[in-house]
Structure 1
């Protein structure tokens, strides 16, 4: 059987967000991953010749769900979002929690609960296509601020994402990579993989080229927030044997960086 493929169209919107439209060609269905800017999403869908049939929200923040109603009114799409934040997701039709799936044409997304940034944050993993849409839970060389949850909650959420196949393409929601790189360099000064990654990031940004999506295998080797279980990093942060405390130390330093 032919592998089901998904076309992903990435485009910048708002100040530093990325919009994603995901298209399954066989059915013609198209999903908006979050809705930072309704007008931009509708214009990009029109430009691609795609009709938005789904909105897949990761969490309630306005730069992720603020365009829901305008897109729904224009397209009649179905809005999916986290059960734990249903009252904050405009126009939500289908609530989701870990273990649920979203049938999207011939493709299927599995839902992961990844709270911490917000209490109900979810991610969508298209296993067959090696793609994960992670909202603000994970960034290239970074992770979301822990606004609503606890450090332990956030580390547990990142641990779920760490456990995805290393070849998974990670679609995160913001162009924060260069700033994250400056911080990451202060945490693991001897990480050769990180140094090479930073050079590539700087080259791309100098040309105005996006740094996302990223690939999980590269993040596992370089992203300090995913490496809080590495003994050498735990020792350097002053918390040997304690991944949660190490993560909390790194996140605290980033918040003040």
Structure 2
């Protein structure tokens, strides 16, 4: 059977709802709005097999009830967040195989943005919700900065060729901050130019490749001397370790 095909469905101001298809089978990730997903399913002649949720925020789960009213399928989501529409609660290390002809996904616990945030990884693709973005990371709302740092370190350890499917188009704003941190990073400069050209043409900047994040995302580069020195210059002292570097970076980004 052919490989999974991916389509990013724009929603709201800057969300992406990811629609995966394998033959006529379809799985949707973080459907904050049902209407565009229903239109895509009908237009593509697809049969919904499952819904995957990464966390409880309304722009990620708001369309689930409307979807399952028309397509009664399993809804997978984090066990720790009590999402009312979830029928298959998941914890770290669980596996699910919503497609026939595909090995399925491993569940990775990545708390920080929310207390029970999870990601889905199939060995090639990572659906990470609001944890990791191009040149950035999610805000820490319910978890701790230490949790978010550990979650990002876990994702950074995946194979560099991993395709990263996040849930928002935040790339240009993130790149501006990343350049404030590492203005001399040539890979970042080139990536920012590529992002700007993509957005000018009305095209998405996602998915990204993990190896690009390792080269250009300051939140994954907390051990780099250039990042640590910039944080030290701003704060008046050298951070004690990578975790403190991350915490100071995230606090800086919050007010940037």
User: What TM-score results when the alignment is normalised by the length of structure 2?
Assistant: 0.94
Which residue of the partner structure matches residue 255 of structure 1?
A: 254
The answer to whether the Cα contact below 8 Å between 2:30 and 2:54 also exists between their aligned partners in 1 is yes
Which residue of the partner structure matches residue 62 of structure 1?
A: 58
1:53 and 2:56 equivalent? Answer: no
Is there any run of 5+ residues in structure 1 with no aligned partner, and where? Answer: none
Which residue of the partner structure matches residue 131 of structure 1?
A: 125
Bigger mean CA deviation after superposition, 92-101 or 231-240: 231-240
Which residue of the partner structure matches residue 168 of structure 1?
A: 162
Q: Distance in 2 between matches of 1:180 and 1:78?
A: 34
Which residue of the partner structure matches residue 80 of structure 1?
A: 76
Shift of 1:234: 1.8
Count of residues in correspondence between the two structures: 249
Equivalent of residue 119 in structure 1, options 112, 115, 119 = 115
Query: Alpha-carbon deviations, 1:170-229, whole Å to 9, x = none?
Result: 000001101111111100011010000001011111111110111100010000111112
Q: Distance in 2 between matches of 1:190 and 1:241?
A: 24
User: What TM-score results when the alignment is normalised by the length of structure 1?
Assistant: 0.94
Aligned with 1:32: secondary structure?
Answer: strand
Shift of 1:240: 4.7
The answer to whether the Cα contact below 8 Å between 1:131 and 1:170 also exists between their aligned partners in 2 is yes
Aligned 1:86-125 pairs, distance under 5 A? 87=82, 89-104=83-98, 105-107=100-102, 108-125=104-121
Which residue of the partner structure matches residue 17 of structure 1?
A: 15
Query: Alpha-carbon deviations, 1:2-45, whole Å to 9, x = none?
Result: 8x6211111211111011111122xx431110111111111111
The answer to whether the Cα contact below 8 Å between 1:117 and 1:148 also exists between their aligned partners in 2 is yes
Shift of 1:97: 1.0
Is there any run of 5+ residues in structure 2 with no aligned partner, and where? Answer: 233-237
Query: Alpha-carbon deviations, 1:47-103, whole Å to 9, x = none?
Result: 111121100000000000111111011101110000111x2x232111111110011
